[in-house]
Amino acid sequence: MTVAIELTPFFLPGTAGRLFAVHLRPAAVPAPGEAVLLVPPLHEEMNKSRPMLAAQARRFASLGLSVLMLDPYGTGDSEGEFGEASLEQWIQDLAAGSRWLRETGAQVVHLWAARAGALLLAPLLAIETHPGAVLTLWQPVLTGKQLVTQWLRLRIASETGRERGESSESLRRQLEDEGRLEIGGYELSARLVAALEPCRLDAALAADWRGIAWFDVAASPLPASERALAPLRTRGMPLVYEALPGEPFWGTPEIARLPELLEATSRSFAQLRDGGAP
């Protein structure tokens, strides 16, 4: 069944600058009662993931939901530079997106986080609760420490990094001394690194969700994900976990698509929202 989707790009006024946003909803439903807010990946992974995120947003809309994708301050097509961005600002921006969805008719705002977006969930929930929400996770980054390691590695693995024999240690010193570091064409501020590093997904998993759907792109379930899910199983949280083999689209040289992930995400979301046994 094909549902006509209305897609509206617009700028949402943020507290630091205008935020580029795309809103999707079923054309026949002007004010859906339920919505999904995307908490996007960061850095280059945001760009690489866009086609998959856009495809999933359409699918959520065809399930009858209002869907908002926004680029937090200093990322994507929003105002500001990555080097000026702060965690607090990003959280304010996402909270503004969530409030916008409520103001336009949603009683429930579900959350959907991809990759490093998962680390922003706990600070977001601290300022804006999301009662009755289903949480959808796409290969979440589990800890801020992992994210920072990954960013530093981007530099270490680059030609410059290899020529200079850089290490996490030398880069951290540089970050401390100069307050910033260039990584893959982005300026990274010491302040952002310090704020992101202590963030953890498990702090958000401990919240009260209607259900959690978690997908990894891997040939078999990842042990680290299973460990993070164990306390949720004990709590009896409605849960879907699936490892799907395929190309890790957030980091591949060419844009990749994984239709199986879209199928599984929509199916699991509908099950968890409607309270059926997954």
Partner 1 sequence: MSSVEAQVRSLLGSTLQLGSRAESLVRESALLGSLPELDSMAVVTLITALEESFGIEVADDEISADTFATFGALVDFVESKLAVA
Amino acid at 84: E
Angle at which helix 168-178 crosses helix 144-156, to 10 degrees, equals 100
256 binds partner 1 (CB under 8 A): yes
247 binds partner 1 (CB under 8 A): yes
- Candidate list 198, 231, 252, 274; residue touching partner 1; CB under 8 A: 252
- CA–CA distance from 149 to each of 43, 143, 161, 193 (Å)? 14, 10, 14, 10
Q: How far is the CB of 111 from partner 1 (least distance, A)?
A: 23
- Candidate list 50, 88, 150, 190; residue touching partner 1; CB under 8 A: 150
13 binds partner 1 (CB under 8 A): no
By beta-carbon proximity to partner 1, the closer residue of 64 and 251 is 251
Query: How many residues make contact with partner 1 (CB under 8 A)?
Result: 32
By beta-carbon proximity to partner 1, the closer residue of 104 and 158 is 158
Contact 141, 228 (CB under 8 A): no
Alpha-carbon dihedral sign for residues 123, 128, 129, 130: negative
157 binds partner 1 (CB under 8 A): yes
Q: Whole-angstrom Cα distance, residue 47 to residue 54? A: 11
Of the listed pieces 4-12, 82-90, 212-220, 269-277, which binds partner 1 according to CB under 8 A? 212-220
Residues 6 or more apart whose CB falls under 8 angstroms from that of 18 comprise 11, 12, 78, 79
- Candidate list 248, 260, 264, 270; residue touching partner 1; CB under 8 A: 248
Amino acid at 43: H
Task: Count Cβ atoms below 10 Å from residue 79 Cβ, excluding itself.
Answer: 15
Q: Which of residues 16-75 bind partner 1 (CB under 8 A)?
A: 44
Site residues (vs partner 1, CB under 8 A) = 44, 150, 153-159, 161-162, 166-169, 184, 218-220, 222-224, 245-248, 250-254, 256
